[in-house]
Chains A and B, each alone.
Chain A
Amino acid sequence: MSGDYEAVIGLEVHVELKTKSKVFCPCSTEFGAPPNTHVCPVCLGLPGVLPVLNKQVVELALRAALALNCRVAAFCKFDRKNYYYPDLPKNYQISQYDLPLALDGYLEIDTEYGSKRVGIIRIHMEEDAGKLIHEGEALNPGKYSLVDYNRTGVPLLEIVSQPDMTSPEEARAYLEKLKAVLQYTDVSDCRMEEGSLRCDANVSVRPAGSTELWTKTEVKNMNSFRSVQRALAYEIERQIGLYEGGEQVVQETMAWDEAHGVTVPMRSKEEAHDYRYFPEPDLVPLRIEAEWIGRVKEHLPELPDARKHRLMQDYGLSAYDAGVITASRDLADYFDACVAAYPQAKTVANWLMGDFSRLLNSYNLEPRQAPVSPAELVELMVMIDRGKISGKMGKTVLEEMFATGKKAKDVVAEKGLAQISDAESLRPIIQEVIAANPGPVEDFRQGKEKALGFLVGQVMRATRGQANPALVNELLKESMN
């Protein structure tokens, strides 16, 4: 970014709640089912049906609200947001408008200048819409769209931040942290590739250090955290470019084009935003008693920041290491399982942040899906400590464990990684051991077989356990006779 400007970024995030059934009907929320197999008269919006609120939706929403330091409204209600689009069979979406579930929260993020608090304006509950598949191909578009209503009525939380972020990196840090909090609290899977976390951004620029707000644009269609960061970086430069060229930024909605790395204006009709909200007459309001809030608060699990501090305090990890490990609940759980069996926490951290993470990425897996269990990784670390294999070989062994799902000792045995089995590389070490231990050598020559065992042990130690013991035995005898 040019030094004369700073960005003002606010994010609007939608996450799918981890419930078994939809928000207003008992249809399954399972992802990836064949089209229109999780539908019923309620979510299809057939006449005469009544929605009934899933209690678990409120429970999870409260959990998110409290974990994000929000004030929970004692009274809230649902409203109809009216618009016509084929993904919405009722022609309105049940959402919350003027009385949302929660307000005024914040999230602490780590930035290059230290910790920073990003405000959260509001959190509300709503239902998801269906999925449209456009027929035809890019070059030969069809006349029709196909509609699958399986996602219609899946519960969502909309989490709206204050425009407190000043760079694409901060926006990304906010998303990473939000994802961590929602995963720790089991509110959502936050899988952007499955659409269980979606993000739109409001962005404007202004002279650095100023408090004015200049015209903002809304950026949509970002499919990964990385694309959010790229899209914002592009949009900020685009806006600065306009001002520098004496032009103005137009308030409009931009779509991120991932393939070309640009934001382009989205065509939309003027009245598209005239939603004519009104209270949903089919649902009664919610009164959230302090007792309910207290119970949810009491059962909140350890959150990422607390876990990070625990890892620093209990295991002496650096803030950076603890931050990387606790960014994902999965990885933090994996870490805890490892250190329970193997107390050298720093070694565990190095493996998890290094080769283990690299291999997870290359296989596109979450830590809990790793083909190597914490116990198996511990086994590998122990083999290295005991000199059975070198640290360098350990990396190769881990790769093989990922590729084949085999245990470390089997990989080592099959690949012969542990042993030096050629006489030529062992002879100099054997000569050294003989020279350094005249007493035991003499004992052996006197017929004391036990002395041979000691000398073999010395060679094994000198080769960090990698020598083939049978061969060492043979070579020692040969050299001493």
Chain B
Amino acid sequence: MSISLEEVEHVALLARLELGPAEKEAYTQQLNAILGYMEKLNELDTENVEPMAHVLPLANVFREDEVKPGLAPEAALDQAPDKHDNQFRVPKIV
């Protein structure tokens, strides 16, 4: 499997990354190297291996349904580039 320049551009767009021509080229090569290694792993017989859902051998970590105070709106909005009336203000996207 190999990844094309167009696919790199598509993934970059989805991730909202603006890449220059040299970067696109570099990432195409790097991603292909990574996927090449995956191909190598694919040679292994995983017929009887359960897909791994998590790296930790844990399940069922819960918290009880209790309310605790969070941040004050001033603190929550402190680092916001733009705000209005205790709300984050963003360019309109429809």
Interface residues as binary, A45-58 with B (CB distance below 8 Å gives 1, 0 otherwise): 00000001111111
A86-B93, A279-B53 known; A146 vs B85 contact (CB < 8 Å): yes
A45 to chain B, nearest CB (A): 11
Q: Is A84 an interface residue (CB 8 A)?
A: yes
Q: State in angstroms the CA–CA spacing of A38 and B72 once bound together.
A: 8
A144-B91, A284-B54 known; A40 vs B71 contact (CB < 8 Å): yes
Q: Is A286 an interface residue (CB 8 A)?
A: yes
Q: Is B1 an interface residue (CB 8 A)?
A: no
**What range describes how many residues of A lie at the interface?**
35 or more
Q: Is B40 an interface residue (CB 8 A)?
A: no
Complex contact A85–B93 (CB within 8 A)? yes
Number of interface residues of B (CB under 8 A): 37
Q: Is A134 an interface residue (CB 8 A)?
A: yes
Chain B residue at minimal CB-CB distance from A79: B53
Complex contact A77–B53 (CB within 8 A)? yes
Q: Is A265 an interface residue (CB 8 A)?
A: no
Complex contact A39–B60 (CB within 8 A)? no
Complex contact B93–A21 (CB within 8 A)? no
20 contacts between A and B (CB under 8 A): A20-B67, A21-B65, A26-B63, A35-B73, A36-B73, A36-B86, A36-B88, A39-B70, A41-B71, A54-B65, A86-B90, A133-B87, A134-B92, A145-B91, A146-B89, A147-B87, A271-B14, A274-B14, A279-B54, A284-B60
> Could you tell me which A residues sit within 8 Å of B by CB distance?
19-21, 25-28, 34-41, 43-44, 52-58, 75, 77, 82, 84-86, 99, 133-135, 141-149, 267, 271, 274, 276, 279, 281, 283-287
> Could you tell me which B residues sit within 8 Å of A by CB distance?
10, 13-14, 16, 53-56, 58-68, 70-73, 76-77, 82, 84-94
- Sorted nearest first, the 10 A-B pairs with minimum C-beta distance are A40-B70, A56-B65, A26-B68, A55-B62, A146-B87, A147-B88, A287-B59, A36-B73, A284-B58, A86-B90
